[in-house]
Structure 1
């Protein structure tokens, strides 16, 4: 198997909601495991939090995520953006529409100076996304 780079997103109490949202955008199979299943927290209030979630899409995308335990700090900001790129305008337009719904568009999804269709947004869970459709040659 080739080495893969998979985004792993951290949430505070809403990982399940976020990962279900990403499944609605990208499709695929979502597998989740809770803190209780792994026995990682003695706090009953954390039993249903997600220890690990893995979304695998038919197109080969993999997105992972988890809730941050109450005992750990979690930054509200990051210097990471998830980037989607390819040649299929219809597919990437659908991802853009889903990810930007309820979020904040920072760069509209339109033709960029370099010829590609490009946009940037922060989704409703605070995750930054870049979507780029390569211009036909």
Structure 2
């Protein structure tokens, strides 16, 4: 297997909800393991929280996430952006529409000066997304 790089997102108590949302956006297979399943917490309140979740899509996307226990610090969204890029405006535009639902558009999805269509948003879970569609813009 070749090396791969994929985002790993950390949440506070809502990783399962976020992963299910991302599955509704991208489709794919979602596998979730909890702290309780692996005896990784003495706190019964954390038993059903996500120790590791992985969404794998037919398009080849892999997104991983977990819940951060209360004993560990967490600042959601400040240091990570997830980038989606390709050349299919219909496909990527569909993802964009779902990601901005309940979120905030920080840069509208429109033709960019470099000739692509580009947009940035923060989804309803505080995660920053960049969407770039190659060659679909009118910039120059």
Unaligned runs of 5+ in 2: none
Contact 2:56 2:63 in 1 (8 A): yes
1:49-69 Cα offsets, whole Å, 9 max, x none, are 000000000010000000001
Pairwise CA distance, 1:75: 1.7
Contact 2:10 2:76 in 1 (8 A): no
- Runs (4+) of structure 1 moved beyond 4 Å? none
Q: How does 1:1-137 map to 2 (within 5 A)?
A: 1-135=1-135
1:27-86 Cα offsets, whole Å, 9 max, x none, are 000000001011111001001000000000001000000000111111234222100000
Structure 1 distance, partners of 2:40, 2:10, is: 16
SS of the residue corresponding to residue 109 of structure 1 reads: strand
SS of the residue corresponding to residue 36 of structure 2 reads: helix
Structure 1 distance, partners of 2:76, 2:108, is: 24
TM-score (norm 2): 0.94
**Alpha-carbon spacing, 1:54–1:77, altered in 2? closer, same or farther (3 Å):** closer
How many aligned positions are there?
137
Structure 2 distance, partners of 1:59, 1:105, is: 24
Unaligned runs of 5+ in 1: none
TM-score (norm 1): 0.96
1:9-28 Cα offsets, whole Å, 9 max, x none, are 00000000000000000000
